[in-house]
Amino acid sequence: MKQIILTGDRPTGRLHVGHYVGSLKERVRLQNEGRYDEIYIMIADAQALTDNAEHPEKVRKNILNVALDYLACGLDPEKCTFLIQSMVPELTELTFYYMNLVTVSRVQRNPTVKSEIQQRNFEASVPVGFFCYPISQAADITAFRATAVPVGEDQLPMLEQCREIVRSFNRVYGETLIEPEVVLPKNQACLRLPGIDGREKMGKSLGNCIYLSERPEDIKTKVMSMYTDPTHLRREDPGHTKDNPVFIYLEAFCRPEHFAEFLPEYSGLDELKAHYERGGLGDVTVKKFLNHVLQTELRPIHPAARKRGKPPPPPSATCATP
């Protein structure tokens, strides 16, 4: 059986560091590993419209922005096929047929749909298209006969729902569709990177992101204003590292070399965490270190923009309107 990857992103804004550690880095690794026969990377514009019906221009503009971020991260069009969802109308047709294989109550139980409805304050006004997007995602995955789908943790319930649709379809119509496997990042911290505001997920539609295309000085401003442990009021107070986004970002991004270069008084992350937890280590020191780590890791993604100090894209392109 051919080994095929299908994955993608909604063009609701520029891509952020959560995408990078949660999915993009893994895609680049899989692309270069050469184990897959075909790799499809979808810019899911039709899906993005399900909660942006009033902002078609935003979706249209971000199709190119997302494609640029793909290239900047090292996704190679010689090795992967990039595609725009709305340009394959058969996907919508397939979604229509799959709708008959799913109940309303099953979608209502999907934890990601539930939390996204809450985040967007939809309550009873949830658009039918948005409610059905797990079904359209199943159409995308199965139409390309994908065997593997590299995603962040928030997409696990979507993949489970897709696998159920595959089983129902095969039961009724005979063995036709392939049940895809999910590919999650191995590093626990990368499964669902929190927002800089401390919310549990960094998300384009939540306005709490550090974007891959961000200027160095803006990255620094965002890092220095990040939410940390609210009980760590003074430097000498004992602090918490577990749900502290600054430490979660360090888990996701920092490597031993970063300590040698930027914080040589510590042997590694465990020692830094231990110091923070017992008290005596200020947030500013940790944030400054995180800023150095992020600048180093993101530099190869936009070297030209960084060197020339290009002006940032207009806020409407970087911050998705809620």
Q: Which residues of the shown chain bind ligand ATP in the complex (CB under 6 A)?
A: 9-10, 12, 18-19, 22-23, 151-152, 154-155, 192-193, 201-206
Phi, psi of 99 (to 5 degrees): -55, -25
Q: Closest separation between CB of residue 314 and ligand ATP, Å?
A: 18
**Which residue, 63 or 206, is less far from ligand ATP as judged by CB?**
206
Nearest CA to 263 out of 238, 226, 296, 240 is that of 296
Between CA 81 and CA 244 the distance in angstroms is 38
Type of residue at 1: M
**Which residue, 13 or 239, is less far from ligand ATP as judged by CB?**
13
**Which residue, 248 or 281, is less far from ligand ATP as judged by CB?**
248
Between CA 209 and CA 197 the distance in angstroms is 9
Q: Closest separation between CB of residue 148 and ligand ATP, Å?
A: 13
Q: Which residues contact 60 (CB under 8 A, 6 or more apart)?
A: 45
Q: Closest separation between CB of residue 203 and ligand ATP, Å?
A: 3
Q: Which residues contact 84 (CB under 8 A, 6 or more apart)?
A: 42, 43, 45, 63
Cβ neighbours, 10 Å, residue 50:
18
**Which residue, 10 or 163, is less far from ligand ATP as judged by CB?**
10
Q: Closest separation between CB of residue 30 and ligand ATP, Å?
A: 13
**Which residue, 134 or 152, is less far from ligand ATP as judged by CB?**
152
Q: Closest separation between CB of residue 192 and ligand ATP, Å?
A: 5
Phi, psi of 12 (to 5 degrees): -105, 0
Type of residue at 134: P
**Which residue, 154 or 297, is less far from ligand ATP as judged by CB?**
154
Residue nearest ligand ATP (C-beta atom) = 22
CA distances for 302 relative to 1, 133, 249, angstroms: 38, 32, 20
The structure tokens listed for 273 are 């965490």
**Which residue, 51 or 232, is less far from ligand ATP as judged by CB?**
51
Q: Closest separation between CB of residue 25 and ligand ATP, Å?
A: 10
Q: Closest separation between CB of residue 117 and ligand ATP, Å?
A: 12
Region for 74 from its dihedrals, namely left if φ exceeds 0, alpha if ψ lies in -120 to 50, beta otherwise: left
Type of residue at 50: T
